Amino acid sequence: MSLKIAAESWPKPPLETVQSMNEAVVVREYDEERHKIAVEKMESLCEVGQKGKPSLVTDLMGDPICRIRHFPIHIMLVAEYGEEGEVVGVIRGCVKTVARGSSVYVKVAYLLGLRVSPTRRRLGIGAKLVEHLEEWCEQKGAKYAYIATDYTNEPSINLFTKKFGYSKFRTLTMLVQPVHAHYKPITSSITVIRLPPCLSRSIYNRLLSNSEFHPKDIDLILSNKLNLGTFMAIPKRYLSKWDPKTGIIPPNFAMLSVWNTKEVFKLQVKGVSPLTQTFCAGTRILDSWVPCLRLPSFPDVFKPFGVYFLYGLHMEGKNSRVLMRSLCEFVHNMAKDDDGCGAVVTELGQRDPVREAVPHWSKFSWAEDVWCIKKLDKCEPLDWIISGSSSPVIFVDPRDF
C-alpha cells in the first residue's frame, strides 16, 4: 500500500549541496496549524507509480496525523528547509507492546509514511527523519523498530537494510476481495454470531497470544469506533448447545474482526486508459442487471473508495475452511451495504493456514509484503531477529494498515 514506507531513486546531487542542505534542514514535531496544508500538498506530489502506468493513490481523510492517532503513543515529524520553513519531508511513528511469540511481550516501534518532496530527494532528508524518529522511539522504551513495504520497492528496502541496519524479517501476503453488485450466498447450515468486545478479547488472548505481533492493548482495538465488530461462524447445529456467555469455544468455528478504514484513508487507481475504464463499467452494469449470473464484475476503483480490513482471523475444527469462507462472504455483504466501500482486505503470514480459506482476486492481491526490523536496544538480552518463530501466525494490527 502507498501508505507504507516508500522511496524513489533520484539523481545524486554534488556533495557540497548535500552538506549545505543538511545544515539548513530542521526536523520538528508536526503542528496542525502550522504544517497541515503544506504536508497535504507535499504528499499529493509523492504518488507511488511510474508515469504512464496505473498507480494506487492514497488519500488521507482529515488531519494527516489521523493515520496514527489511534495508537496511544505516536508522533509525526516534519522536515523544514530554509528560513521560510518549507516542508520537504515527513514521517510517522508509533510505539506499542506486542508478543514476539510464546506470550513474551516487547515494546516495538512502527515507522511509516516516510515522504520526501520530489524536488528535494537524495539530499539526506529521509535519513535525518528516520534518525530523529528512531531516537524518539528509543526514548519511549521501544526495543525494536520495524517498517513494511512491497518487495518490489527496492529503493525503500535498500535504504533501511543498507543504510539503517534493518533486516528482512517477515513476509506477508495481502489478499483483496472486490465488493460486487450482488450479495454473496452463505451456506444455510452456517450461522454468524457477533461477539461482544469482552468475549472477543478473551478469545483472542487465549488463542493468539502466542502469535507474533499480537498487541497487548487488543482491548483498545476492539473498542475503537473504527472496529465494526468481531464475528464467529459456527454450524447451526451448535446454536442450541453453545452459549457464548460462558466463554467456552465451540469445537468447530471461524472468527475474525472487521476494521473500517474509510474514515482514515481512501484509495484510487489512476493512470488507466478510458477504454479500460469503460470496459470495467460495462461489467458492473451487466452484473447489476443480471445478478443471478454472479459475474465477476470489475469494481469501480477509478474513483476514491474505502476498504474493510479483516484481522484476527482464526479457524478450528472440521470444515473450518468452509466456515471461514462463509464469514468472509458475510463481511463482503456488509461492505456492499456500505456506500463507498470497494474491497475487503486482509494481510496474513505466508505460513498461516487461514490463507487457503480466504476468498480473493489474485489480480488485486500481492504475495510479498516485506517487514524489515531493527534492534534499537543493544542491551536487550534476547534477539528476536535471529530467534525465529514457533507460530505460523502473524497478528496484523489494523491500525498499522
Where in 179-270 does DSSP place strands (E)?
190-195, 212-215, 227-235, 253-260, 265-270
d(CA 319, CA 214): 26
Residue 399 has pLDDT above 50, yes or no: yes
Q: What is the pLDDT of residues 252-261, one digit of tens each?
A: 999 999 999 9
Q: How confident is the model at residue 379 (pLDDT cuts 50, 70, 90)?
A: confident
* Strand, coil or helix: 341: strand
**pLDDT digits over 167-197, tens only?**
999 999 999 998 887 888 888 999 999 999 9
The enclosing H or E element of 96 equals strand 86-100
| Residues 42, 372: Cα–Cα separation, whole Å | 26
DSSP state of 384: H
pLDDT digit string (tens) for 74-123? Answer: 999 999 988 888 999 999 999 999 998 877 899 999 999 999 988 877 77
Q: How confident is the model at residue 385 (pLDDT cuts 50, 70, 90)?
A: confident
H/E stretch holding 45 reads none
CA distances from 211 to 318, 389, 390 (A): 22, 9, 8
Does residue 126 carry a pLDDT above 80? yes
What pLDDT is recorded for position 271?
Answer: 66
pLDDT at 1 over 50: no
Max alpha carbon distance in the chain (Å)?
76
For the stretch 201-251, pLDDT in tens is 999 999 998 899 999 999 999 999 999 999 999 999 888 777 777 778 888
Query: Cell digits for 21?
Result: 542542505
Strands in 203-273 per DSSP E: 212-215, 227-235, 253-260, 265-270
Least confident of 190-204, 342-356, 379-393: 379-393
User: pLDDT, tens digit, for every residue of 21-65?
Assistant: 556 889 999 999 999 999 988 888 776 544 445 556 666 666 788
Number of CB atoms found within 10 A of residue 296's CB: 10
Compute and round to an integer the Cα radius of gyration of the chain: 22
Domains defined for the chain, CATH in brackets? 176-263+296-368 (3.40.630)
Q: What's the average model confidence in pLDDT over 266-283?
A: 74
Q: pLDDT digits over 297-324, tens only?
A: 777 777 888 999 999 999 999 899 999 9
